[in-house]
Amino acid sequence: MIDTLEKLRISLIAISFEEEIKSQMNIDSDLIEDYEDYLVDFANSVELLSKTVSANDQISTQCALTRVRMASLNLVNFYQDVIDDVVLINQQDSWPEIPEGYKLPEYYNCSSDK
């Protein structure tokens, strides 16, 4: 996933035609490193939750649920930053208009196209 995020970062920078947009972007090397930390925090909080549930410790379970929530919010915020960057770049005035009915060429082999 980290490689994918780095590829995304490089691609977004490459298509940021306007310097002002580059300066507004959220995704950078530090943010990608933070993502690894967010994943570890999430995994640790879920592990804690599992232990507290197994121990039938309701008070600790409530605390663990709060940790899962905080770790989840960090991931949500990370992905929101990615969304914001994509929207920011896609709104640049220098893009050509997409023709009606346009489909990505098959040679891109993009399996998510329907």
pLDDT digits (tens, 9 = 90+) for 66-107: 999 999 999 999 999 999 999 988 888 888 999 999 988 888
pLDDT digits (tens, 9 = 90+) for 12-65: 888 876 777 777 888 777 878 889 999 999 999 999 999 999 999 999 999 999
Buried b (16+ CB within 10 A) or exposed e, 24-56: ebebeeebbeebeebbebbeebeebbeebeeee
pTM above 0.85, yes or no: no
CB 32 within 8 Å of CB 2: yes
